[in-house]
Amino acid sequence: MPTIRDITQPLEAWAPPGSAQDYDNVGLQVGDAGRDIDRALIALDCTPQVLDEALEIGAQLIISHHPLIFRRLSSVTADGFVSNLALRLAESKIALYSIHTNLDATPGGVSFALAEQLGLTGIDLLDGFDESMLKLVTFVPDDTFEDVRSALAEAGAGRIGDYDACAFASDGTGYFQPGDAADPHIGTAGGDLQSVAERRIEAQVERWNLRRVLSALHDAHPYEEVAYDVYPLQGKTLQAGLGAVGTLDHPLAMPDFLARVQSRLDAGSLRWAGDPDATVERVAVCGGAGSDFIRTARGAGADAYVTSDITYHQFFDVLDNDGTPKMAVIDAGHYETEAITEQLLRDYLAERFPDVSFERTRHRTSPMRTFTGAEQSLST
Ligand SMILES: [Zn+2]
């Protein structure tokens, strides 16, 4: 039976926790990573109803997108929604693992799933993260070059877009004089200056993957002291970013596009701004709170941008200098634009762990409701 750690390892290779936003709190929130599991419940939010459901179906793990413990907890008592739920999880021996802005940031993550749900194809990141790439340079004696090169690649160095193991090697000469206390791979302690045929290897590494790559370098490199340099790189990465952008198979008139968004996301209502007579073909999306990226979506040539948590004044950002809307912005709701995350996680894990049951919660975990006036009753 796999442990919780076994389950979360591939998730973290796909959506590295280090790529989460600084304010975020991702990873195991409650529980013992070494515990065996055969059943997990997946929910956008961990709520008391979700915990009850986990108990009912015998799940040992809840995987949530939104972290329950977000701000610092000074105590774990029955007082307070978060604290009480954390206490109940611990008392019930049900672990909670959260995969939040790291899953937003990864290609194939939340926004890509939303884009697919809306029928987009040719999906790319809306915008790559700035200044998150580093260049690692190291120097290896000829006879162990292949060992070190492959160890770096296996640890994830040299990923550029759809290419893995990208590196450059050049020949040169390394010089060193072992001190009296040294344990040199070549030469002797306190011996003469050595000159060795070495190869310089250089490869790009994501900032959040540096520690893993350096650890692989130290394990594979034969020298007692490994010489390496790490340089920050300017520009954007293709490995992580925000939102997604793609194209509809055929252009839709605005009312038809709005109807598609509403029905595919099961949104009670949409708040939107834009030209009702426009045609939509290129679409940008950002699951959850994406109001800061309206201009980015415009810059990407989108006819429409689907996200949530847009304020009144942010709707003005779609207007051109003369006040005409240049793009539609559609606020379809935070829960509605992210609910697909449950299925995304379920599919990803079920494929890798056929002996573990992964279930989506039957609860709609959003506390928000839409009142349309047509309701027979307000109870759910
Ligand atoms: Zn969210």
Structural domains of the chain ordered from first start: 4-99+339-360 (3.40.1390.30), 110-128+241-332 (3.40.1390.30), 132-233 (3.30.70.120)
What's the pLDDT tens digit per position in 335-368?
A: 999 999 999 999 999 999 999 999 999 999 999 9
- Cα 317 to ligand 1 centre (Å): 22
- For every residue of 211-244, DSSP letters joined together read HHHHHHHHHH--SSS--EEEEE--SEEEEEEEEE
For residue 62 the two structure tokens come to 């809840």
Q: Which of 147, 162, 169 is nearest to 216 (CA)?
A: 147
Tell me how far the alpha carbon of residue 230 lies from the centroid of ligand 1, in angstroms: 34
pLDDT tens track for 77-89: 999 999 999 999 9
Specify the pairing of strand 236-253 against strand 120-130: antiparallel
Of 102, 127, 78, the C-alpha closest to 13 is 102
Confidence of residue 157 (pLDDT cuts 50, 70, 90): very high
Cα(66) to centroid of ligand 1, in Å?
A: 6
72 DSSP assignment = P
Its pTM stands at 0.89
Task: Report how far residue 329's alpha carbon sits from residue 300's, in angstroms, rounded to the nearest whole number.
Answer: 14
Q: pLDDT at position 238, please?
A: 82
Question: 101 C-alpha to center of ligand 1: Å?
Answer: 8
Give Rg (Cα) of the chain. 25
- CA max distance for the chain: 90
CA 306 to ligand 1 center in whole angstroms = 14
Contact 286, 101 (CB under 8 A): no
Taking the centre of ligand 1 as the mean of its atom positions, its distance from the CA of residue 288, in whole angstroms, is 4
**Residues found in the chain:** 380
CA of 98 to the centre of ligand 1 (A): 12
